Amino acid sequence: TDMDGFIAGLPKAELHMHLEGSLEPELMVALARRNGVEIPYASAEQARRAYAFTQLQDFLDLYYRGMSVLKTEQDFRDLTSAYLERVARDNAIHVELFFDPQGHTERGVPLDVVMRGITGALDEGQRKLGISHRLILCILRHLSEKEGLEALEAALPWRHRIVGVGLDSSEKGHPPAKFERLFRRAGELGFLRVAHAGEEGPPAYVREALDRLRIDRLDHGNRSLEDPALVERLRHLQMTLTVCPLSNLKLKVVERLEDHPLRRMLQAGLRATVNSDDPAYFGGYLGDNYRAIQKALSLTRDELATLARNSFLGSFMTEAEKKAAI
């Protein structure tokens, strides 16, 4: 359609994408074979059929099992390259990627292997596809703060390649306050700070992420809309929200995409963006998310252009890079 053409033509940044969540079943099966790792799927089709989760924890269980096939530098390089090639077709010109080092070091994969693979592919993506990048190290919130602090310290040899620290995994029962000291340390080390909050968790978790983690960007944030004072605060801060429509649908954060709060966020003056979260698991990459939410909410060209512009404004690009992109 006309709108799909308009969306395709918009240069975009993606700000909320977990690299391990871009592991397509085909690559998972191929890497399982290459590395002799057992997975409970005989084929990519079987894996896809198993992706029937309806809440965050059910997804996460499959996500951590899926990433167990990633063992070598080449695996991380293949994973990252596949994502970049795919998102280049959606006219992404800048990406800020999450990765979960604890999901790998726990399994005995050294951080150097992870980092060499990912950064090698990112550098190649910059050279060959013209896609600029930032990396955000995510801390798994279902583990202890002490383990998270150890993961943060272990990453310091790679400090020059990591722009920020994030917080992901099981939200309920693991409030932001659990990681207050870790985020203070991250700030002292000069990292930018982001956190998943208000995906399944209540508005209070978003307030905690602001007050106690001092976040620079809010991942998801959907449930902030339940609290008008919080909305006003986010608007006043011009806090960027990295919203993930197809993820929200798949994990039942919204019942139907037509009920999605994205337009209400824009109308409230919030700096919302569109992102894919875990595209291999949630049924779509960046462009799919734009197209699906446009159709569901009948978003206008102006609204779509605002979303794409927000993706650069909310990015961790330099001011000069932002200027060039917008």
Annotated binding site for Zn(2+): 16, 18, 196, 277
Q: Name every residue whose Cβ is closer than 8 Å to that of residue 55 and which is 6 or more positions away in sequence.
A: 200, 251, 252
Cβ of residue 247: shortest distance to ligand ADE, in angstroms?
A: 6
Cβ of residue 18: shortest distance to Zn ion, in angstroms?
A: 6
21's contact among Zn ion, ligand ADE, none, with CB below 5 to 8 A by partner kind, is ligand ADE
199's contact among Zn ion, ligand ADE, none, with CB below 5 to 8 A by partner kind, is ligand ADE
Answer yes or no whether residue 20 interacts with Zn ion by CB under 5 A.
no
Q: Judged by CB, which is closer to ligand ADE: 196, or 207?
A: 196
Question: 175: part of which helix (H) or strand (E)?
Answer: none
Cβ of residue 53: shortest distance to Zn ion, in angstroms?
A: 14
Q: Judged by CB, which is closer to ligand ADE: 125, or 166?
A: 166
Nearest CA to 266 among 228, 304, 316?
304
Cβ of residue 252: shortest distance to Zn ion, in angstroms?
A: 15
Tokens of 102: 């604890």
Q: Which residues are annotated as a binding site?
A: 16, 18, 196, 277-278
169's contact among ligand ADE, Zn ion, none, with CB below 5 to 8 A by partner kind, is ligand ADE
Q: Judged by CB, which is closer to ligand ADE: 220, or 291?
A: 220
Among 199, 200, 208, 303, the one annotated catalytic? 199
Residues 193/210, Cβ–Cβ less than 8 Å: no
CB atoms within 10 A of CB 54: 9
Give the x-and-dash track for 255-294 against Zn ion (CB under 5 A): ----------------------x-----------------
Question: Half-sphere exposure (CA, 13 Å, Cβ side) for 82?
Answer: 18
- State the number of binding residues for Zn ion (CB under 5 A): 1
Q: % helix / strand / coil in the chain, to the nearest 5?
A: 55, 15, 30
Residues 263/303, Cβ–Cβ less than 8 Å: yes
Cβ of residue 139: shortest distance to Zn ion, in angstroms?
A: 13
**319 has catalytic annotation:** no
Burial of residue 228 (CB within 10 Å: 0-12, 13-18, 19+) is exposed
CA separation for the pair 184, 212 (Å, rounded): 9
CA separation for the pair 20, 160 (Å, rounded): 21
Please report, as ranges, the residues that interact with ligand ADE according to CB under 6 A. Answer: 18, 21, 56, 63, 168-169, 196, 199, 247, 277-278
Catalytic residues: 199
Give the footprint of Zn ion on this chain (CB under 5 A). Answer: 277
